[in-house]
Structure formats: structure tokens, C-alpha cells
Structure 1
Amino acid sequence: MSAFLLDASTGADWQYCEAETKEVYRRSEGLAVATFRMFCQGIFSSNPDFPWQADFRGLSQLKLETLAAGFQVSRDNPLVGLTGRLELLQRLGNAICQHPLLFGSENQRPGNLAQYLLDSLVSGVKTVDCAKILSAVLTGFGENWPGKYAIGGVNLGEVWRHRALQGENLGDEFVPFHQLSQWLTYSLLEPLQELGLYVVRLDELTGLAGYRNGGLCLDMGLLRAKDSAIFEQKYLPGSEVVVEWRSLTVILLDKIAAAMRYKLDLSATKLPLVKILQGGTWAAGRKIATELRAAGVPPIHIESNGTFFNS
């Protein structure tokens, strides 16, 4: 869970050197390895007898200097949005206390969500809809995601406005991405299956509108900018350029999936979108970006404060 929260844009200058292997990692890979090492060191746990866990006290009481040391941040190795990442983790610790049904009433941990899903099954039934997992994620972590908009006091999460969308209903102008929530849902599938659950209706989730997938679409020529000046500027996550780019990425991911299934003569059941994302488009987007641009930066530059999930 912590790895997802921390995976926002790092900036082009940050890197992480893994002490155990001496390997150097950057961007999403660096954040993942650094977070895993912090987890192994018990940084997210408040109980020294159980260091390999993330609990509400360990998260909510985390200090900036501890997180900075874990990420090897220094004057020569700056990490974009370090304070924003800390605030997200602290909010996570507070958020899980608000949902005892999902995260337990004692020793509240994000990992208790798996037990909730197991307990919610009808006796003798071992199948769970993918949408049910996403619903639990949105409910349990919804207040933690950085959101700009709310309806009826409810944080809408990762949605953005686009002026081309007009309608008579409240919220018609919003484009819902929920990238982190869906990414977390996808990542829970394998662990839940190892617990004996059979996850069905995977097609109820969309592709992930991050800069790796979106970058692939631009770098491969599937998308073309009407004005090349777009690549020379920086944009906030809510800018129409970014919202439109991400929206088109979601659409194209479905088309890429259909083309791959046709090419390989596989059904959606045999080759679901989640496999295409992780092993295909995301990895390809990263590889092509590294070949085209220094440090593998995305083709469109997004300003980040560490709370926008754009990998």
C-alpha cells in the first residue's frame, strides 16, 4: 500500500542505490525498491516485535527526516514532493482508523483489507467481483487520495474537469481516472488468488492512465499533438492537455488489448487487460522513453508535488 502512495513523479535527478546489491534505480523502480527496503526495516510499523507490517501509528507518526533518509534524499539527490509523500502516508494512517470494518478495530493495518474481503464472501463461495475489490479500496482509502472535487461532502478522488464535457447532471464535466485505486486493485488480484479466491469480471476496470502508458501512445505515434509546443511546456495534473492525453490513453489501451488478443488468438479471459498493462504497455513505455529522452522522462512534462500518481 505504501509503495502505491509514494509512486508519484520523482523528478529527473533522483536515484536510489540499494545497499544490498549496489544496484541503482530511478523513478518508479527506485521508489518501489526504496519503499520495500523501508518496510523491511520496520519503518512503517509501530511495534518492534512485528516490524514487517504497516500500521496506523507507524504511518500517522512517520517523520520527514525518516522518510528522507529512507529515500536517500540529499542536496545532490533531490526527490520531488517529499513532503507531499509524507502527508499521504500520515493521512493513510489516520484514514484506516475510520473504517474498522475494513481494517480492523485493533492493530489497524491496510493489509486487513484482505481479511475483510474473505469474511464478506457467502459461505461456500470463493469468487469475488473485481468491482467489489475496487469498491472496498475506494471506500477505505477514498479520503486519503488527493482530490480537488467533492459532491455532497464526499471526496471524488482522482477525477478531473474538462470543459468539452457538458451535461444536465451534476458531475457530467468530470473525467474519472482513479488510477491509484485501480492499480492497487489490480495488484491485489494475485495475493487474493493465493488466498484461495477466484476474482471474476476483470473487464470492469479500465486501463491505467499514467505517463508510461500515455507516453507509449505518443512515442509510438498512436497519438499526435496538434501543436508541438505542447512538449516544450509544463502542465499541472488538472490541465486540459493532461486530462485529454490521459483520457485518450484509456481508450487506446482497450484497442491495444484487442489487437494483441487478435494477434495471439487469445480471449479476454486468457489475456486480460491487467496482464497487458504490466507486462506490455507499461514496460514498453518505460523502455521507449529511456531510448528517446534522458532519464526516461515522459513526452509531456507534468508538475508534481508528490501526491499525483502518474507513473
Structure 2
Amino acid sequence: MMGEPLSRAVAEQAASWHVDLLDEPADPSRRDAHQRWLAQSDEHRRAWARLEKLQGRLEQAPAGVARATLNQARTSRRRMIKGLAVLLVAGGAGLGWQRSDQYQALTARYRTGTGEQRSLYLADGGELVLNTDSSVDVDYGAGARRVILHHGEILVTTAPDPQGRPFTVDTRHGSVLALGTRFSVYSDDVRAQVGVMEKAVEIRPTDNGQPPLRLEVGQQADFSHRRVGQARPLNADALAWRNGLLVASDWRLEAFLTELSRYRPGRLVCDQQVADLRLSGAFNLTDTDVVLENLTQTLPVRLTYFTRYWVRVGAK
């Protein structure tokens, strides 16, 4: 039945198939694989029927909303799959998602797709660099300068303001007040992380019961809306992404693949049999297929491609 609940895993699979077929709709082998997936279970067919119904409702929405959802798949594939999965599990009732974090991220003024970077020059002479799969809005008003980071990672270089307005980066977990500085902020559904390259910042979690934390140059810290972690030394390779590199130092393979997936469209799955393998090195992010292939040369792993965008790393 259409009203029966869907598991999150099946919803994500349906969303992934939708984006795959949207990306290359004329590929016969992909369509055949999709038909085999549909035939595997009633839940698969129910998820696909719900997705088609949701797509029809989106096509009746205002043009700007539709463009900001399904037609953004090529530039923000991972976020698109996640957002669609949330809607499928919830049933898309009333399109209430328009007020959700997913909607805000998809309709933000400034966005980057998976593997993309973008530099912006701010009105006061500062600079904002967006890392992969990120979305922000900028709000300069009479009394404040705000960057709203909906999702992803940014590098901020602030400039003096003749009007003396404070500069903050706002996330769902809280805000970061710049104290004449250069700093990075990463934010996802679970937490935010701040690293300071020049001068200092002050972290202010959403929960007003938590005291703010001042970070000095060369420090970093994690925080959520409920808590702020302790300051610790900044990772020396924190900005390697600006040079198109992912630098690992004795990382677990599972952690490495999780980080690599930020720069690669689609699903990248690590089998638990190989999750604890360790690796180190500097990996070029311009071609993640080469990175994955190199893993098979240095570790006892093999790659299984279910589709072009769905890869499993398992034991040989």
C-alpha cells in the first residue's frame, strides 16, 4: 500500500535510482538494472511509486521551487538523494519540506556541487570560499554581517568594517563570531567544526545555557547546539582541500571513505570486514575513481560497482 511506511535505506535507494536515471536517462543497461531492483520487493516498487507521485507534485509547484529540487541533481547529487529520501519516508505531506533544512540548503543563493569549489568576494572586501557540496546565504544589514552556512564547509577571510558591524557565521548548531580573523567552518546534521588560521573566533552554541568558547589561532573545536567541545591543536592539513588534496595520516579505511564521499557523487560503501584497515597519504581529489583504484593496489580490497555512482569497497 502507498500509505505503508518506507525504510530509510529503501528510500535512499529509490532516490539514488531517480538521480541516476535523470543523469543518463537513455542508458539501457542502467534502466535494466533499475527494473531488476524494482522486481526485488514490494517495498522497492512502493518507494518508486511514491517518488513518482512526489515528482508530479513538485512539477505543479512554482518554477523556482521545482528547479531547486529535482533539477539540481547534477550539481548536488548527495544532498539531493538525502533530501528526497527524507521526503519519501515522510510521505511528502503538504510539501512542508519547503521550510526544512534541506529546502533552505537547496535554495541557498550560493552553492557548490559535489567536488566543486567556489570563491566569493564579500561587499566589505572579505572573501568566502565554499568547499564541496556546500550552501550559504549572505546577509549584510545595518547592524550585522552574517553568513548563513546551511550545509558543508567554508573558509572565511574577514575584512575591517567601517561601520563596526560584527561578523558571524550562523549554523544550525550555533554561531561563530569573528574577531578579525581567517577561519574555517564545517557543518552537517550532527555537528559543526571550527578551525582558526588567524587571530581568534568565539563559538556560541544555540543553547543559551552553554557558555561561549574562544578559539585562538592554531586551534580547532567541535560543537553542537547542546555542547561545545574542548579546544585542541588545529590539524596541519585542515586546508588541504584548497589544493585539491585529501591528506590521511593513519586513518581507518571507513573514515577515509566517508571523507572521500564528500567529493564524489553517489554512494560509497565500506564493508565492515575492511573498515579497520589503516592508510596514510595525500590523495588527489580531481579524480576519485583513480583514488579508489589506487586503494586496490595498496590494500587487500576490491571494488564492486553496482552503478556508475554506487561503489562498494570490500575484501579481496
Taking structure 2 as the reference length, what is the TM-score of the superposition? 0.27
**Would you tell me which structure has more strand in proportion to its own residues?**
2
**Would you tell me which structure has more helix in proportion to its own residues?**
1
Taking structure 1 as the reference length, what is the TM-score of the superposition? 0.28
Which structure's relative contact order is higher, taking Cα pairs within 8 Å and 6+ residues apart? 1
